[in-house]
Amino acid sequence: MRLVAEARDAVRIPDAKVALSTASVYPESTATAFEIAARLGYDGVEVMVWTDPVSQDIEALRRLSDYHRIPVLAVHAPCLLITQRVWSTDPWTKLQRARAAAEKLGASTVVVHPPFRWQRQYARDFVDGVWRMANETDVRFAVENMYPWRYRDREMLAYAPDWDVTKEDYRHFTIDLSHASTARTDTLGMIDRMGDRLGHVHLADGRGSAKDEHLVPGRGDQPCAEVLEGLASSGFDGHVVIEVNTRRAMSSAEREADLAEALAFTRRHLSAASTIEAPRR
């Protein structure tokens, strides 16, 4: 019995919580994401604010969180092309509403993309504006790395100031491994450049496709395991969010199996770096 206790004590529980992005259940609903996250044992959810009306309704989200006993750990502001009219057409209003949602729901982080290049005034003010907003709240504004848009042999820089957010001075970053794969950049190098400003992780795999694959971790060539083990070793206390594409799942059961696999992979590698060999007798 003593050996069992010693072995148990030798495992340090990682500080990082593992959350499910509500985008991971698409085309199913935000409400379904809460249900799946609770059933599979995720630590919380990240709400992707998009065209699903429930994702835009703070009171509806609060009720889902209370009913399933699953906290909202992060709010992803509506920055996608398909959400240009969600929560206003003004990008600063979107960020203000995302911050208010995070504060009311008890979430610690707002995830935001850099502006599209055609949002010229927003792009010019973005770095300073995010700093101003970050100074007004305890909520982290974690700016997410993106990627060049590619078509055949042509490349278009769609984001400003840059898709590589480490080229600018932000208080907090989100690293998205699928985006790093699509950008064909060195993921570990980008994490090194982020340093202690890395506050949030979107975990997904990729194979360098221009399509931003968001594969289940372990199914591509990104260093997902190495990243997780590095986070655990460094005492990372942010959130690791499973943000994968399950649109090709043939059934709800297959989708849930993918999300269970992603959670098991993440927990296994977060714990691996924290485990030491139990004393021999």
Q: Is residue 11 part of a domain?
A: no
Structurally, the chain folds into a number of domains equal to 1
Q: Is residue 6 part of a domain?
A: no
Q: Is residue 10 part of a domain?
A: no
Strand partners, 172: 142
pLDDT at 273: 63
Q: Is residue 2 part of a domain?
A: no
Q: Is residue 279 part of a domain?
A: no
Q: Is residue 99 part of a domain?
A: yes
Separation of alpha carbons 30 and 242, rounded Å: 15
Band (pLDDT 50/70/90 cuts) for residue 274 is low
pLDDT in tens, 144-177: 999 999 877 788 889 999 999 999 999 999 999 9
Give yes or no for residue 7 having a pLDDT over 50: no
Q: Is residue 277 part of a domain?
A: no
* 123 token code pair: 């792009």
pLDDT in tens, 246-263: 999 999 999 999 999 999
Give yes or no for residue 196 having a pLDDT over 60: yes
Separation of alpha carbons 123 and 129, rounded Å: 10
> With pLDDT > 70 as the criterion, what percentage of the chain qualifies?
92
Contact indicator for 183, 147 with CB cutoff of 8 Å: yes
Mean pLDDT score of the chain:
91
Separation of alpha carbons 156 and 37, rounded Å: 36
Give yes or no for residue 3 having a pLDDT over 80: no
Low-confidence winner among 25-34, 231-240, 268-277 (lowest mean pLDDT) = 268-277
CATH code (residue 185) = 3.20.20.150
What Rg do the C-alpha atoms of the chain give, in angstroms? 19
Give every CB contact of residue 139 below 8 A, 6+ residues apart in sequence.
99, 102, 103, 107, 108, 109, 110
pLDDT in tens, 67-99: 999 999 999 999 998 898 899 999 999 999 999
* Entry pTM: 0.91
Contact indicator for 38, 64 with CB cutoff of 8 Å: no
Strand partners, 156: 149
Q: Is residue 7 part of a domain?
A: no
Full residue range of the structural domain in which residue 245 is found: 17-272
